[in-house]
Amino acid sequence: MPTDRCAVVSTAEEGVAPATFHDSLLRWAEEVRRDLPWRRHRDPWGILVSELMLQQTQVSRVIPRYERFLARFPDPAACAAAPVAEVVTAWEGLGYNRRAVNLHRAAERIVDEHGGVLPDDLDGLLALPGVGPYTARAVLVFAHERDHGVLDTNAARVLARAVAGAPLAPRPAQRLADQQVPPGRGWEWNQAVLDLGATVCVKRQPRCASCPVTEVCRWAAAGLRDPDPAEGSAGTSGRQPRFDGSDRQARGRLVQALRTGPVELSRVADVIGWSDDPDRAERVADGLVVDGLAEYADGQLSLPA
């Protein structure tokens, strides 16, 4: 990103959007709010599980797995008491399996240090393995209805385009997100922003004709000129690296094989599909061990006990 554009990111005008922005968005959300299982309760554990599952994974893939996962691990104590391998196996189909290991570690910490109850403060949540600024605020907002702004890729896109009309650096972005929350309506407001970003203010070809806040959107007022304010703005997703042939694909294949049982070390390259590159396959296996997703024992690679 050019240096002069970085200056715009750091100094973009901040402030609360017009009242019409809030009113229009909240009215729209009342009519179209998606009925999602994690929106039907205020259980902090269930919210934490949903947020970790939703990271870089489509909602349609998460829903059935979320319900099965909570049926097996309804609270931190149940998750912490289970072997890591069982949690990783239950994570099947979601990808980014390291999240399952982090969730198990977080459950152990919750049981050991918090009596089995998730912390209800930002610092306590951020201290849990795998919990970052977005996830911590999401638990506070969606479980406890606190007035924080949650800033995932969808919300960040709406913020940059509609409110700022310019890219934002991380701290101004979070500050601006917090400023938008109508007092006492943190749960309702953030769900509305997330739905707008997920269904209307999408990354490619935004559906501006059906947007409830087009009339007060700064990017629309500027004629939707390039560059898109969301490009390079804090929290928005960048271009994904190629998946085919990547280490990430290899890790996924290997973990999937391990879900059915241990793999002989001599077969790791074949399982991955890299028979012609056993050294790279070995590095992938080593990476799984370092991340707590696998362990070596008796000439085999297996899920951790």
Catalytic residues: 51
**Residue 15, φ and ψ in degrees, nearest 5:** 155, 170
Residues in contact with 267: Cβ distance below 8 Å, sequence separation at least 6, in sequence order: none
Place of tokens 């069982």: 86
Residue pair 88/293 in contact by the 8 Å Cβ criterion: yes
Instruction: Write out the DSSP string of 227-292.
Output: SPTTTT-TT---PPPP-TTSHHHHHHHHHHHHTTS-EEGGGHHHHHT-TT-HHHHHHHHHHHHHTT
DSSP state of 161: I
In angstroms, what is the C-alpha Rg of the chain?
21
Exposure of 117 in the CB half-sphere (CA atoms within 13 A): 5
Alpha helix stretches (DSSP H) within the chain: 3-11, 19-32, 44-54, 59-72, 76-81, 84-90, 98-114, 122-126, 133-144, 153-158, 170-180, 186-199, 218-221, 247-258, 268-272, 278-290
Distance CA 202, CA 208 (A): 10
C-alpha dihedral sign at 104, 106, 108, 114:
negative
